[in-house]
Amino acid sequence: MLFMQYYLDCMSQASYLIADESTCQAVLVDPRRDIAEYLADADAHGLSIEGVINTHFHADFVAGHLEVAAATGAWIGYGQRAETEYPIRKLAHGDRISLGETTLEIMETPGHTPESISVLVYEHPGDTVPYGVLTGDALFIGDVGRPDLLASAGVTADELGRMLYDSVQHKLMGLPDAVRVFPAHGAGSACGKSLSTERQSTVGEQRRTNYACAPMDVEQFLTLVTGGQPAAPSYFAYDAALNRQARALLDHSSGPRALSAAEFTAARTSGALVVDARDPQEYAAGYVRGSLNIPADGRFAETAGTVIAPGRQLLVVAAPDRAADTVLRLARVGFDTVAGYLADPEASLADVADQLTQASRLTVPDLHTALQQPVPPLVLDVRNASERDTGAIADALHIPLAELPHRLDEIPTYRPVVVHCAGGYRSSVAASLLRAHGHPDVSDLIGGYNAWHTMLHPTKA
């Protein structure tokens, strides 16, 4: 058996290739849209990709099943409750897929979504203990998939939570302790609240350490699993729907188009939104008015999907060696509407100097001084609710970044606003969003709440 895990750090997303080296037959599980790495590995090992299985309709990225099927002729498999616009192989509980000696067995594990499945992997068809189980978003390392995303129409969070209880407590915890656990996501994903940085575990280890796997009744489970979940990025419902559709394939034949300053200006005049992926300090020194700062060094794709409405034509400003990757990362979450990127931004931005302005950034001492004034600024905290358990700036207005695009009218335009998060990444995004929507005096806090807390509670030598 050949078993390979592919982990995309910037989205905390895992996909898998399982093959039988005697027959050279392989199956991909939960692949992303940019499939070149899978195809290259299959070619290097002389494998034929026979099928692609999605454990559920993913909400946080656009899966690559259509790209894989188009490139290889593979069938596409989902749980039997899935309904799609393209032909699929419906996989029921107990179904076995033979790749030769290597055998896959389907386990229905609904709860994160109704159609969710897990995939048991056997090195030999007669083995009594599986090598491992690919749990999708049903069971994570240290957590379980949240049932409250409401990506599946017609099913309530309570109904999904009760399904998840049975899937985790009875089905997955009914497996032997030695079975390896391979989830679809790790730490940082918004599909759960306390995911581990580890990329594999065992059923026994999860039984001992995962809060949701300890014996309990269904009501206790629902209370634990649904409490303290972060706000879901707004693009989740869009991607979940896109994964059901016979959408356009990701075009691998050509890279993004480099634009001159004149072409960039013409597209912007026609209504395109500028996504500036530079570092916040570089962005603040001179940015195109109305642009959003979503730094590439972070959870770029997820953040972009949080603050940008799908379908909007986009322009990218990024370092020359980051432009193509920035466009690809947007495509991974279904934002295929990039008109191009600004070639040589340092020189090109100088050519559009009349379109530029600067952004205010405050240090912690600056904010401390400002808050002592007769008319202090409004402090906007864009962290998730659970992060505020560590502390908060007094009287700060709390709106998580994922909710901000829909709550902009709660922020007054008649007084200065200082935005902060934990470390400074999300605050620059949020501050740029406010400026783009007409707020005249917005600053972000350098270093975020972590820097604020350090100033007020310095560590003693």
Phi, psi dihedral angles at 146 (to 5 degrees):
-75, 140
Q: Between vectors from CA 17 to CA 11 and to CA 22, what angle results, nearest 5°?
A: 170
Residue 55 and residue 252: Cα distance in Å, rounded?
Answer: 25
Phi, psi dihedral angles at 378 (to 5 degrees):
-80, 130
Q: What is the DSSP letter of 32?
A: B
CB atoms closer than 10 angstroms to residue 266 = 13
Amino acid at 359: A
Contacts of residues 251-256 at CB distance under 8 Å and 24 or more positions apart, as own/partner, are 252/34, 252/36, 252/67, 255/324, 255/327, 256/316, 256/323, 256/324, 256/327, 256/338, 256/340, 256/341
Which H helix or E strand runs over 443? strand 442-445
Secondary structure (DSSP) of 215-248: S--HHHHHHHHHTTPPPPPTTHHHHHHHTTS-PP
Residue 459 and residue 242: Cα distance in Å, rounded?
Answer: 49
- CA atoms within a 13 Å half-sphere pointing along the CA-CB vector of 130: 24
Q: Considering only CA atoms, which of 239, 243, 240, 238 is closest in space to residue 85?
A: 243
Residue 296 and residue 275: Cα distance in Å, rounded?
Answer: 10
Residue 138 and residue 11: Cα distance in Å, rounded?
Answer: 18
Q: Which of 24, 191, 213, 421 is catalytic?
A: 421
Q: Note the maximum CA span of the chain.
A: 77
SS3 call for 169 = helix
421 is catalytic: yes
Q: CA distances (Å), 84 to each of 117, 244, 433, in order? A: 16, 5, 35
Q: Do residues 186 and 12 lie in contact, with contact meaning Cβ atoms separated by under 8 Å?
A: yes
Active site residues: 421
